[in-house]
Amino acid sequence: MITAEEMQAHLVEKSSADHEFRRQLIEDPKSVLIQEFGIEIPDSMKITVHENTVEDVHLALPAKNELTVEQLEAVCAGLTCCGC
Protein backbone atom coordinates (compact mmCIF):
# COMPACT_ATOMS: atom_id res chain seq x y z
CA MET A 1 0.00 0.00 0.00
CA ILE A 2 1.28 3.45 -0.89
CA THR A 3 1.78 5.96 1.91
CA ALA A 4 0.48 9.54 1.97
CA GLU A 5 4.08 10.76 1.67
CA GLU A 6 4.64 8.61 -1.43
CA MET A 7 1.38 9.90 -2.95
CA GLN A 8 2.41 13.49 -2.32
CA ALA A 9 5.87 12.93 -3.78
CA HIS A 10 4.33 11.38 -6.91
CA LEU A 11 1.88 14.28 -7.32
CA VAL A 12 4.56 16.93 -6.83
CA GLU A 13 6.93 15.24 -9.28
CA LYS A 14 4.28 14.66 -11.95
CA SER A 15 2.76 18.15 -11.59
CA SER A 16 6.22 19.69 -11.97
CA ALA A 17 6.76 17.91 -15.29
CA ASP A 18 3.22 18.04 -16.72
CA HIS A 19 1.41 21.40 -16.75
CA GLU A 20 -1.93 19.88 -17.82
CA PHE A 21 -1.75 17.40 -14.94
CA ARG A 22 -0.99 20.30 -12.57
CA ARG A 23 -4.01 22.24 -13.83
CA GLN A 24 -6.27 19.20 -13.39
CA LEU A 25 -4.89 18.54 -9.90
CA ILE A 26 -5.65 22.11 -8.84
CA GLU A 27 -9.11 22.17 -10.44
CA ASP A 28 -10.36 18.69 -9.48
CA PRO A 29 -8.05 16.99 -6.98
CA LYS A 30 -10.50 14.20 -6.08
CA SER A 31 -10.75 12.97 -9.67
CA VAL A 32 -6.98 13.07 -10.08
CA LEU A 33 -6.39 11.12 -6.85
CA ILE A 34 -8.96 8.50 -7.85
CA GLN A 35 -7.40 8.19 -11.32
CA GLU A 36 -3.78 8.11 -10.14
CA PHE A 37 -4.13 5.83 -7.12
CA GLY A 38 -7.45 4.01 -7.53
CA ILE A 39 -8.58 5.06 -4.07
CA GLU A 40 -12.07 5.78 -2.80
CA ILE A 41 -12.70 9.26 -1.44
CA PRO A 42 -15.91 9.91 0.50
CA ASP A 43 -18.19 12.63 -0.87
CA SER A 44 -17.99 14.30 2.54
CA MET A 45 -14.21 14.79 2.22
CA LYS A 46 -13.04 18.08 0.74
CA ILE A 47 -9.62 18.22 -0.89
CA THR A 48 -8.03 21.54 -1.78
CA VAL A 49 -4.73 21.99 -3.60
CA HIS A 50 -2.83 25.18 -2.81
CA GLU A 51 -0.04 26.45 -5.00
CA ASN A 52 2.80 28.26 -3.21
CA THR A 53 4.35 31.39 -4.67
CA VAL A 54 7.20 33.58 -3.49
CA GLU A 55 4.70 35.90 -1.79
CA ASP A 56 2.11 33.32 -0.68
CA VAL A 57 3.24 30.21 1.20
CA HIS A 58 0.81 27.68 2.68
CA LEU A 59 1.37 25.63 5.82
CA ALA A 60 -0.87 22.60 6.37
CA LEU A 61 -1.47 21.62 9.98
CA PRO A 62 -2.60 18.10 10.89
CA ALA A 63 -6.17 17.64 12.05
CA LYS A 64 -6.90 18.11 15.72
CA ASN A 65 -6.83 14.90 17.70
CA GLU A 66 -10.53 14.32 18.16
CA LEU A 67 -10.48 10.54 18.58
CA THR A 68 -12.01 8.94 21.63
CA VAL A 69 -9.92 6.73 23.91
CA GLU A 70 -11.60 3.67 22.40
CA GLN A 71 -10.76 4.81 18.85
CA LEU A 72 -7.15 5.50 19.83
CA GLU A 73 -6.88 2.03 21.38
CA ALA A 74 -8.32 0.47 18.21
CA VAL A 75 -5.79 2.32 16.06
CA CYS A 76 -2.95 1.24 18.36
CA ALA A 77 -4.16 -2.33 18.06
CA GLY A 78 -4.00 -2.09 14.27
CA LEU A 79 -7.74 -1.90 13.76
CA THR A 80 -9.59 0.74 11.76
CA CYS A 81 -12.14 3.10 13.20
CA CYS A 82 -14.30 6.06 12.29
CA GLY A 83 -15.32 4.45 8.99
CA CYS A 84 -11.73 4.70 7.69
Per-residue DSSP letter, 45: -
Residue 64: its pLDDT value, please?
Answer: 77
pLDDT tens digits for 25-67?
A: 999 999 999 999 998 888 888 999 999 999 999 988 877 776 6
Q: Report the alpha-carbon angle 40-37-67, nearest 5.
A: 50
Global pTM reads 0.70
* Band (77; pLDDT cuts 50, 70, 90): low
Tens digits of per-residue pLDDT, 12-23? Answer: 999 999 999 999
- Quick one: DSSP state of residue 55? S
